[in-house]
Amino acid sequence: MRGAFMMVSVAWAAGHPPCDRADNPPATMPGTGAIVSKRDTTSITREMMVREQIVARGVKNAAVLAAMGRVPRHEFVPASVRNLAYDDRPVPIGLGQTISQPYIVALMTELAAVGRGCRVLEIGTGSGYQAAVLADLGADVYSVEILAPLRERALEILSRLGYGQVKTRVGDGYLGWPEAAPFDAIIVTAAPARVPEPLRQQLKLGGRLVVPVGKVDQELKVITRTTHGFFERNVIPVRFVPMTGQAGDQSR
């Protein structure tokens, strides 16, 4: 996932399983359903992260909170900055990219409103952490990364941690993954200057596109496909790395 931080603190296609959406169920203590190794000394740190950084800022989806409490975030950052993995900030992962602030990952996941059986497209695999959180929720995850070395490293980490079902490929995220469309949700982890039309068109009816948009002043948007077109709302100001490839060409 590309780095970001907060600036201010159904129809489904034949052959696709139904998407178990759950918008903001009652919050529970994170980690109650977690399967954590007895040797995992970071589980308490993760619970503190969830409670102090995520619940405190208003994320309520119980499944999202539990997933954030289970997925070992420190495994997705380079060893040299592993001590920063659970800090309330983005962390560099190399090639000028970062893993996003934990709150932003949780917020975008909650806004996407996905669960078991949902088909989800992630644009910007980055570290692989966002894909792991989505997979932990039971989603069928497709992830596109424009930088081959990042995709290769993320694939190794995801496979090693048991998230080998995540499908990844190198490509221009602006174009999405048309062969796997339509999607119940699309999460974009880099900011285009304008919403990519191919991504909107790859949404199912009722699907949600969660995307930061803008050059300097960016807004995190949720775009929902309806029978009357697309409904768009702004959530919060954010700062993400710019989307490259065709999106970068169009922003000039």
Whether the upstream peptide bond of residue 182 has omega within 30° of 0, thus cis, is yes
Distances (CA, A) of 14 to 118, 181, 182: 14, 12, 11
Question: Catalytic: 127?
Answer: no
Torsion on CA atoms 210, 58, 87, 223, rounded to nearest 10: 10
> DSSP letter string over 152-196?
HHHHHHHHHTT-TT-EEEES-GGG--GGG--EEEEEE-SB-SS--
Candidates 138, 170, 139, 137; CA nearest to 154 is 170
Per the CB < 8 A criterion, the answer to whether 68 and 46 are in contact is yes
Report the distance separating Cα 51 and Cα 69, nearest Å. Answer: 9
Give the integer Cα–Cα distance in Å for 126 and 105: 13
Q: Which of 9, 43, 80, 100 is catalytic?
A: 100
Which run of H or E residues covers position 130?
Answer: helix 129-136
- Catalytic machinery residues: 100
